[in-house]
A and B are shown apart, each in its own frame.
Chain A
Amino acid sequence: MLRPILVLFQTSRQDISRAGIARGSVGWENFTRLFDDPDFAPVLARTAVWVVAVVGVTLVISLPLAQFLDKPFPGRRVVRYALLVPWAASVLMTALSFRWMLQPFFGLVNQVLIDLGFIDERIDFLAKPSTAMPAMMAVAIFVSVPFTTYVVLAGLQTVPGSLYEAAAIDGATPWKRYTKITLPMLRPAILVALLINIINVFNSFPIIWAMTEGGPQFTTSTSTVFMYKLAVQNRQLDTSAAMAVVNLGLIFVVVLIYLRASRWQEAATPA
Chain B
Amino acid sequence: MKNKKSFNFTFYLLIVPVLLWLVLLIVLPHIDLFISSFQVENDDGKMVFSLGNYIAFFSNQIYWLTFVKTAAYAIGVTILAFLVTFPIAFYLTKVISKKNAGFLILLLLIPLWVGELVTVYGWMVLLGDHGIINHSLMAIGIIDKPINMLYTNFSMIIGLLYMSMLFMVVPVMSTLESLDDSLIEAASDLGASKWTIFRTIIIPYSMPGIVSGAIIVFMLVIGDYLAPNILGGKSSLWFTEQIYNEFLSTFNWNEGAAFGFLLLMLSSGIIWIALKLSGQKLDKVGS
B is bound to A: no
- Residues of B at the A interface (CB closer than 8 Å) are none
- Residues of A at the B interface (CB closer than 8 Å) are none
